[in-house]
Structure 1
């Protein structure tokens, strides 16, 4: 059985990527989470905004994302490097509850454990959702997205592969090892913040090497 995180992210991708701004900034789900939320630390002084949370079948919040900088627009892969892309600068931090193998809410199945790979895949799909081959018709676009989504999963499932490098970034002031990769669409990274959560992040226009993460003290302030 696939992880709940993977199922939620797959559904989001199949529907055309991340929801639009009208579906963002709803703080209720974030407030229900039984784990701390992470974002960029106080050195980042730009705009912050909520995206959406992912939940289990019983409504338990399992992951969510907080954006920093410009709200990303869909980038056509054929116009990489255009003026709009050059101006767009954002980083999205994904927080995933660290969970062991556990029974589903109805007791009929087993949900797989979440891991750093879960965070890496959610971040990879998040970045992918803002990149579309605009010259394709709808049918071919769906096929492209399915293929790229599976590629993102394969990459996340093997964080020791050559496509990934490592870098050390502060998490609550403590140097922490992250897995990192770049693509034509931006960058993705993933690691853990102690025992309670895994962290993923993706972005464009902002260097990943200068980032630092910390617990969000007042999540409602970003709504």
Structure 2
């Protein structure tokens, strides 16, 4: 998983799409994807918002995230004072492929790729309340490496199994909780990999569905 996870996880920095003056992402990058996007199903009636897409070195859209609920801010604090949100990450099912410079091969994306992206996504909005801001980078680097190790061992004791509906079909997900929130990852019947993370909203009652028209997210 190493080549895939590192490459996929770094992709958001390479391409995130254009932004409105408010800082919100536009739908342009999402429309370039050759795969459908997933979000929470119709049982969720709260706000939905675009986050960012990630691309390969040659510009192909490889994954992206859709937010639900409160738009999270980057801050520390206790579980009680944090926003209620869930983010769904869709990862394309890519076979083994050549790297952009042609010097090697990238491994296929996998459910571990989705778990990695979800774990890092949760960390990006979190740090311990007692930590000085100047120490956050060191903390984030350490926790990111931990998320990497966990995503590479989905059969390990840190993960449990959770069945949730995807397009109405019961689907098995790998699931774990931490003091900062929860992370889950699974694969759809169509072979796409889904990751999700959140806090303040229980993962146990969630369901996922294809977004019928991503262009409405403008």
TM-score, L = length of structure 2? 0.90
User: Which residue pairs with 2:208 in the alignment?
Assistant: 213
2:70 equivalent to 1:70? yes
1:90-146: CA deviations, max 9, x gaps? 1000000011211123422211211000000000000000002453252x3211111
2:60 equivalent to 1:57? no
TM-score, L = length of structure 1? 0.88
User: Which residue pairs with 2:178 in the alignment?
Assistant: 183
Q: How far does residue 74 in structure 1 lie from its aligned partner after superposition?
A: 1.9
2:36 equivalent to 1:2? no
2:107 equivalent to 1:112? yes
Task: Identify which range, 92-101 or 129-138, moves more after superposition.
Answer: 129-138
- For the residues of structure 1 that align with 2:8 and 2:139, how far apart are their CA atoms? 21
User: Which residue pairs with 1:93 in the alignment?
Assistant: 88
Q: List gaps (5 residues or longer) in structure 2.
A: none
The alpha-carbon distance between structure 1 residues 210 and 55, as it changes in their structure 2 partners (threshold 3 A), is: same
Q: How far does residue 196 in structure 1 lie from its aligned partner after superposition?
A: 3.6
- For the residues of structure 2 that align with 1:25 and 1:220, how far apart are their CA atoms? 12
The alpha-carbon distance between structure 1 residues 49 and 21, as it changes in their structure 2 partners (threshold 3 A), is: farther
Contact 1:35–1:196 (Cα < 8 Å) also in 2: no
- For the residues of structure 2 that align with 1:60 and 1:145, how far apart are their CA atoms? 28
- Report the RMSD for the aligned CA atoms in angstroms: 2.0
Q: How far does residue 2 in structure 1 lie from its aligned partner after superposition?
A: 2.3
